[in-house]
Amino acid sequence: MLILYNFLTRITYFLLWIAQWFSKKLRLFVQGRKTIFETLQNKISETDKTIWFHCASLGEYEQGLPIMEAVKKEYPDYLLVLTFFSPSGYEIKKNTNVADVVTYLPMDSMTSARKFIRLVHPSLVFFVKYEFWPNFLFCLQREKIPVLLVSGLFRKEQMFFKPLGGFMRKALRTFTHLFVQDKASKELLESIGIHNVTVSGDTRFDRVSQQIERDNTLGFIEEFKQDNLCVVCGSTWPEDEAILLEYINAAPANVKFILAPHKIEIGKIENFKKRLKKPAVLYSEMDDKTLLEYPILIIDTIGLLSKIYNYADIAYVGGAMGTSGLHNILEPSTFGVPVIIGKNYEKFPEAIRLQQLAGLFSVSDAEECNKVFTKLIEDRKFRSKTAMITEHFVNSNIGATEKTMDYVKKLEKMS
């Protein structure tokens, strides 16, 4: 099975190499991997002690960040090496201060895995949530390097739990310990004979809870909002914007909207503005504008959303109306903000749990969206009660980082 896997990996990389000429993202994916080993040779010496974190993309980086920060504080003499699989993670976080070395992860061949591990020679490895690369895992096991999975999340539809999933189950068993988000994941792993599992929760709760302690002041948002109610629509996709449009156009005058699209694409933003019946101002053009006069502010930049949620009275979090995947509902929740999402959220346990607690509302079309917004805006007591639920939800689920670090401190390898 390993021979077949390696053959398919080679074929996949060849196809990606061809496809790069038709896709900017795939070109970054392929070209970015050309300098991996050169970067490692230049930045890591044979005498350096290292700890390696691997994240698939940006979301996993945010999940792993609380542990990275804790590890950096606990083991300041170690270099922290961070790898990404996807350009959407690497390109945004390649200059992060939390890591000493940031690169792409090489394609999962035995040759690349051996060379990578030889150059990095980590004392400890963290894989965040997903990403199970057999050649890397088998190589790490042979070198007797401890590997931890953090914020893991498993579903019965995954290959590990299928009759033909023996090869991937073998790779999964190489983990020294698996920290998972929920009891269901633990039970699934135990059903295939994996018992070195701890239900630690989701490190994203720790991550967003830290946001409260930071300075979240944004003067331009205060100028824009004033004493009005504020709806923040974060990480939206065209499918989300299509159902939001009707309510935005019909909303009362005392309700202001901040829209922060997931992708900053000027053409799509301009197209959305044309469909609005109210004036909207872009973040990039607001210097010479009187923000108070505008009911709609569109954030055509990145990096501000987590602070903007501090000013929200209601939040719509995008991604679940289509198939791109629900974005982070915990960012508004930590500020005690009622959350509205789309209909496709069955793979996101935090959304399911918050909906069960009545702190989150799922809508499937514009009509449902209008009803939920109307209820939250017109019924102040209902809005306040929902807000308390979301804030309590975050506060009662922190602690995954501490549980993981307690285990790390006991590892003989780190002594």
Residues belonging to the active site: 60
Q: Which residues contact 369 (CB under 8 A, 6 or more apart)?
A: 243, 244, 246, 247, 340, 363
CB count within 10 Å of CB 292 equals 12
Strand partners, 339: 315, 360
Beta bridge partners of 297: 258, 281
Q: Is 338 exposed, middle or buried (0-12, 13-18, 19+ CB in 10 A)?
A: buried
Distance CA 397, CA 395 (A): 6
Cα separation, 114 vs 312, in Å, equals 49
In this structure, what token pair is assigned to residue 321? 């109306």
172 vs 149: CA distance, rounded Å: 10
Straight-line distance from the first to the last Cα atom of the chain, in angstroms, rounded to the nearest whole number: 37
Task: Give the integer Cα–Cα distance in Å for 130 and 281.
Answer: 39
DSSP-derived 3-state class of residue 154:
coil
- Supply the DSSP symbol for 323: S
Query: How far is 387 from 189, CA to CA, in rounded Å?
Result: 35
The residue assigned the tokens 């590892």 is: 411
Phi-psi label, residue 129: left if phi above 0, alpha if psi -120 to 50, beta otherwise: left
Backbone φ and ψ of 290, nearest 5°: -95, 100
Sign of CA dihedral 172, 177, 183, 187: positive
- Residues 266 and 285 sit within 8 Å (Cβ to Cβ): no
Both structure tokens of 375: 């209820």
